[in-house]
Chains A and B, each alone.
Chain A
Amino acid sequence: MQLPAQQVAVLETASADEATSVDALAAATELPPETVTGAVFELEDEGLVAVSERVDETVALTDEGREYAEAELPEISLYEAALEAGADADPVSMGQVIGASGLEGSAVDIALSNYARKGYGVIDSGEITADPDADPAADTEANALAALADVDDAPVDSVDIDADTLDQLERRGLLERTESTVREVTLTELAVTELMAGIETAETVGQVTPELLTSGEWEDVEFAEYNVEADAERFEGGKVHILRQTAERVKDVLVGMGFQEMEGPHVDADFWINDCLFMPQDHPARTHWDRFALEQPTHIDELPEDLVDRVERAHKEGVGPDGEGYHSPWDEDFARALALRGHTTSLSTRYLSGEEIGDLEPPQRYFSVEKVYRNDTLDPTHLLEFFQIEGWVMAEDLSVRDLMGTFEEFYSQFGITDIQFKPHYNPYTEPSFELFGTHPTTGELVEIGNSGIFREEMLEPLGVECDVMAWGLALERLLMLMYGFEDIRDIHGTLCDLELLRETEVTY
């Protein structure tokens, strides 16, 4: 018969006459005990060895026990101090004796609680007496400690201490008992027969090979064991960028809510970015310092002429019988100037006007998660370019309640509930709200978006005759809220840290 090397070694070491412990086998075969144990069980399965088990109990002193073994038990210190103070004749004040004994802290309590029990004397009403006949040298507990002081894990049968004393020491926390299972192995008759017939050592192999499989040899080989717990070499798989993952998640949610995705130019005329939004041309946000105007090229070629006329009229005269325009200049050349879009609401105006995909009939829902550009100061939460989540709903007769319901639904998908609506001002929406939500971890109230119902001065020139409600939010803000990033520059842009990207947890 063929057996793996370690099983052969065990068989050759064990005896049919007397039981051999696993530890003894391990020592004799120079194999690790766990390997021997494994081999023994496999041999038992094959009926080659009989395994018996017994439980061995050992005792050892605890740290405290060892401490008393080196010095002495506190109650003995107390007894000696009491004798010194003359307590064998008359009761002495306890404070005096304790002071003289040198006992401190918990040792005092330990001494007092064992003193009377062991017959060293009596403690009563703050006074202490000492029994002149007591003999510390005959203290069984002290003697047991002394006996165990120099042995580690002594088998309980081998120590000459009575069971009561051992129990008492264990109760006092001076001694620990440990139980261990000892397996002993005896060869079976089958093993003896096989050994006489001769057992060969089977080869172990490192790897499954095509030859091994096709030849059928795999049936006879033993596979070398690996250390399956060890760390493997680090592997760098690719991963979708964390901000893209977040964008995908947002897109999933919005598509699920019935929104269609918009796309459109990053470089666009101010007309689409601002004028169509009823932003007066002298609005502070339209000054040079807040936007990225283009040096080359400078102006858009064509704008829809009649739309330009309607937008200009809305700016100057307002919309409706009771409408008023702005008391601000309006110049078409200014509107044609090109810039990097400061918000993706430029896409909304293009779609709403019919310019992008033709006239839209209500109801409609549209969204985009695209980059916008703001001339801001770079800091951990502000970049010159970031992603804006933009969404709008077009329908007959939309109310503030519909707007609130839509946003509650959207934000709840990201675990943000208890949205508060702070009345706000935007030139292109009325009513307008800043949205506040509770941070999932810090519990702080944080701004999470801006929203409102588009003004008629914006919609009428675009040719929209029903209500449109809209909202916007920075994707980075959502990311930071959801996953607690502190510096957005570490992940977005060429300053990014590859290690951080590799280590970042995936989201879903």
Chain B
Amino acid sequence: MPTVDIDPDELRDLTGHEEKGDEELKEDLFGLGLEFEGRTEEGAFELEFAPDRLDRLSVEGVARSMRYQYGDARGIHVPSPNSADWTIEVDESVPDERPYVTGAVIRDVDLDEEALESLIQLQEKLHATMGRKRAKGAIGIHDLTMLKGSPATEGNPTIKYVGVEPDEDQFVPLDSDAEMTPAEVLEHHQTGQTYADLVSEYERYPAIYDDIGLFSFPPVINGRRTEVSTDSRDLFVEMTGTDQWTIDKMLNIVCYALAARGATLEEVTVEYPDHEIVRPDLSTKTKTVAHDRIETILGIGFDPDEVIDLAERSGLEAEKEENEDGELVYEVTIPPYRVDVLHPLDIIDDLGRAYGFNDLEPRYPDVGTVGGRHERSRLERAVRESLVGLGFEDLLNFHMISEAENYDRLDIEPGADVYGAGESATIKGPYSEDFTMLRTWVMPSLLMVLERNTHRAYPQDLAEIGFAAEVDEDENTGVTEGRRVGAVLASHDAGYEDAKARLQALARNFDVDLETPPTDHPTFISGRTAAVVIDGEEVGVIGEVHPKVLVEHDLEVPVSAFEFDLEALR
């Protein structure tokens, strides 16, 4: 899970609780769902967070939640931005893949080192979560004094969001001294290389211009000219992305974090070719939550005033109402920085957290049902017990395997007309060359275990009832899946009869008719191989493993083996 670094001193400062010790803070943070993972080199808390409350990705947001939890703050606070001076004009040339932009101006920020670090961390964490690694939303923060707006309309400075040819223009990106075209940034600049995949397929690259020229190449990198430092007093925040709601919410979170440090917000007008919006959109939303549902989900009765109090301690506001059916409901107002409230149930979760879930008394639900196992599970257990009774060590191997292990090393060809050689379901872009497909039979796994354990005492009688799968066009998923009963007997005098004797014993246990007509199979010695025919159907193979296969597995003792479909014993 992702983590966020929070300086405990800053947290004490921003919550106004200087008296709280580190341990006490950790406990309070755990209550918010932020688990202490350790400390950074600088002594900050490393906190693990669940990616729902993205408004808590910085110390400002965490402090806000804690002030609500402590009861120091109540209800919703919405900052009032000054009206728009700046405009972002969206040009027709903007790439279709990334059409949306939003922005805000932040004035009178007081950025000391910590505040700047916190802002940078917030930006990174938002990129990683809501921004989907900048694909869905990317943030650019600029020093406003370095921007020169074109006076498109009287008194209103304007910047332009446009699409450019990859080599159309040049700018000096962050962490560089050289002028580069966007295409050169993707090729030569480290950050450019990291995010190149996001835009490399675009015909035109996204770019933002002021009167002086190109100053931002979203979602890849900003220009050096407008870089923010601790001296910056006024900021221009722009965000581009594939979804307007997402970038607007990301903007709200950034605005709230900066406002918490005393900055003044100022609106920005976004002029799309066919319509105009003003941002940030700090409007609140409401949802209706039924009192009855709160009580059934949390499992205890509540007084309406208590519900209202819990809502306020969650940073929400609730008003008691009666719905059309005369039921008690609450009209709950949700602040503009919340991105996780999709349904009234999410509000009930907030109320539960404010109440303290661990204060609820657990109870065993008074619901009667009848338990049981499915037939395959019972059959598998019975066969496993029989195998153990016959002296086999029960094994458990991976379902994923490589082509070489599954086919080549057992001397069979994929798709060949022998048991175990079915076409495999293969994995796309496999993580490891040892695991590229699902095994088509369990024999390869058993031989691998023998190969790994040649230093252990013999006899080694091993068995596995295991999953195997092969491609089958008649199945809805295109794959037929099943369990196989596989067994190997390895010792200085293991022979066909040893395997046959045990197979016969299994057949007797399950009262099935066993025949073993001779057959050919490349894994086994010719003349000592038979098909396993159970109740008239060919379901497997039995034989002495071919010396070629034994030597391939570094085995110096004979091995006899069988494998058949578990279903045959049903």
- Which A residues contact B (CB, under 8 angstroms)? 234, 236-241, 243-244, 248, 251, 254-263, 265-269, 282, 284, 288, 292-302, 318-328, 338, 340, 363-365, 371, 373, 375, 378, 383-385, 393, 395, 397-402, 404-409, 420-425, 430-433, 453, 455-457, 467, 491-499, 501-502
Asked if residues A384 and B457 are in contact (CB atoms below 8 Å), the reply is no
**Segment of B229-237, B345-353, B531-539 in the binding face:** B345-353
- Once the chains bind, are B33 and A497 in contact (CB under 8 Å)? no
Binds A, one of B109-117, B469-477, B558-566: B469-477
Name the contact of A301 in the complex, choosing from B393, B400, B467, B478 (C-beta under 8 A).
B478
Contacts of A282 in B (CB 8 A): 132, 135-136
- Contact residue among A296, A364, A385, A498 (Cβ-Cβ distance under 8 Å from B400): A385
Per-residue CB contact flags for chain B residues 272-307 toward chain A (1 = under 8 Å, else 0) read: 000000000000000110000000111110000000
CB distance from A449 to the nearest CB of B (A): 14
> CA of A194 to CA of B288 in the docked complex: distance in angstroms?
110
- Contact, CB under 8 Å: B345 / A266: no
Complex Cα gap A254–B385 (Å): 21
B188 within 8 A of A: no
Is A495 a contact partner of B452 (Cβ separation < 8 A)? yes
Q: In the bound complex, do residue A502 and residue B393 qualify as a contact, i.e. CB atoms below 8 Å apart? A: yes
A-contact bits for B366-393, CB 8 A (1 contact / 0 none) = 0111111110110001001101111111
Decide if A431 touches B361 in the complex (CB within 8 Å): no
Which B residues are CB-close (under 8 A) to A263?
374, 376-377
18 example contacts (A-B, Cβ-Cβ < 8 A) are as follows A238-B394, A240-B384, A243-B396, A244-B394, A256-B371, A259-B371, A266-B399, A266-B469, A296-B424, A299-B478, A327-B245, A385-B399, A400-B360, A420-B358, A430-B345, A496-B449, A498-B456, A498-B462
Of A258, A261, A406, A423, which is in contact with the most chain B CB atoms at under 10 Å from its CB? A423
How many angstroms between the C-alpha atoms of A30 and B165 in the bound complex? Answer: 110
Q: Is B369 a contact partner of A494 (Cβ separation < 8 A)?
A: no
Contact: A404 with B362, CB < 8 Å?
yes
Say which one of B69-77, B214-222, B426-434 lies at the interface with A. Answer: B426-434
Known: A318-B343, A423-B353. A255 touches B373 (CB 8 A): yes
Q: Contacts of A400 on B, CB cut-off 8 Å?
A: 297-299, 352, 357, 360
User: How many Å from the CB of B195 to the closest CB on chain A?
Assistant: 15
Contact yes or no, B343 A297, CB < 8 A: no
* Cross-interface CB contact of A297 among B360, B395, B435, B479, cutoff 8 Å: B479
Could you tell me the distance between the alpha carbons of A390 and B151 in the complex, rounded to whole angstroms? 62
- 15 more A-B residue pairs beyond the given contacts A236-B457, A267-B481, A422-B33, with a C-beta to C-beta distance below 8 A: A236-B461, A241-B394, A263-B374, A267-B469, A292-B427, A294-B427, A384-B400, A399-B296, A401-B360, A421-B357, A496-B452, A498-B453, A498-B462, A499-B453, A499-B456
Determine whether B155 belongs to the interface, using a CB cutoff of 8 Å to chain A: no
A395, B357: Cβ atoms under 8 Å? no
Tell me whether A498 and B449 are in contact (CB under 8 A).
yes
Contact B425 A241 (CB under 8 A): no
Question: How far is B453's CA from A110's CA once the two chains are assembled, in angstroms?
Answer: 64
Tell me whether B431 and A260 are in contact (CB under 8 A).
no
Q: Which of B197-224 contact A (CB under 8 A)?
A: none
Q: How far is the CA of A492 from the CA of B400 in the complex (A)?
A: 12
A404 CB to closest chain B CB (Å) equals: 4
Is the Cβ of B365 less than 8 Å from the Cβ of A402? yes
Q: Is there contact, CB below 8 Å, between A238 and B362?
A: no
B393 touches A295 (CB 8 A): no
A495 to B435, CA, bound (A): 13
A222–B344 Cα distance when bound, in Å, is: 88
Q: Which of B346, B426, B428 has the most CB of A within 10 A?
A: B428
CA distance A222 to B264 in the complex (A): 107
